[in-house]
A and B are shown apart, each in its own frame.
Chain A
Amino acid sequence: MKLAEIIDMLDAELIVGTPDQLQIDIKTAFGADLMSDVLCDARSGCLLITGLTTPQGVRIAYALDIAGIVFCRGKRPQPQSIEIARELGIPLLRTQYIMFETCGRLFGEGIIGCIREICAGDSFREI
């Protein structure tokens, strides 16, 4: 699903993003507020859905090559986050929907989790 279509479906506002980035095809997603959780289990190319608006979310997105961030619950990213996202080229969206609704809608459109399942005691996994 293209980022532009996701914006429509979530009635989202595009805060940072170029016309090229609107054409990015999103296949997977990851929802979390805990940044250590994102660092551990998000995968490159996924769409991150979070309520945490600090610059660290954007920095993690860059570290992991995450395709973009959707801030849910109407949360507005901090000004510094916006600045860093522009610099690092990470698209930022904002939706009024809660994370439950956001994930539910995207899942219904065929987007899947960027990891399917966790096995206890998993050692290194390809990211």
Chain B
Amino acid sequence: MNLDFIVEKMELKCKCCWENLRREVSGGYVGDLLSDVIANSNSGDIWVTRQVHQNIVAVATLKEHAGIIIIQGAQPDKDTIEKAAKEGMPIMVSSLPAFEVVGKIYHLMHYT
């Protein structure tokens, strides 16, 4: 499944790197503790988090995530968007809480 399919179905707002939305998403990971995300997420994951700090871009790049979804109406810091644009890491935002975002993406992945 491509990232742009998720963005469209979930009505996510993309903050940067539209050119990379054709990326393949192979799984998902939710987490707010960076050390945990580094330890346990996989490449190709769409990462769902409430963190907005620029460190999330470093983590997502390191783990080769497909993109980052910031949840619950939180907005990424300015530094975060700049860094993401430089690294080509798409950042999307949603006003839904993690549980709903994940529930819907999981549904898209398993039943479409």
A residues sitting closer than 8 Å to B (CB atoms) are: 29-34, 37, 41, 49, 51-52, 73, 98-101, 103-108, 112-120
Further 10 A-B residue pairs, CB within 8 A, beyond A31-B99, A104-B105: A31-B98, A31-B102, A49-B99, A73-B36, A98-B30, A99-B31, A99-B102, A107-B104, A108-B110, A119-B73
**A-B contacts at CB below 8 angstroms, number:** 99
Residue B29 interfacial (CB < 8 Å)? yes
* A31 neighbours in B (Cβ, 8 Å): 30, 97-99, 102
The majority secondary structure among interface residues of chain B is mixed
Establish whether residues A113 and B73, one from each chain, have CB atoms under 8 Å apart when the complex forms.
no
The majority secondary structure among interface residues of chain A is mixed
Cα separation A108 to B109 with both chains bound (whole Å): 12
A52, A101, A104, A108: most-surrounded residue (chain B CB, <10 A): A104
B residues sitting closer than 8 Å to A (CB atoms) are: 27-33, 36, 40, 48, 50-51, 72-73, 95-100, 102-107, 110
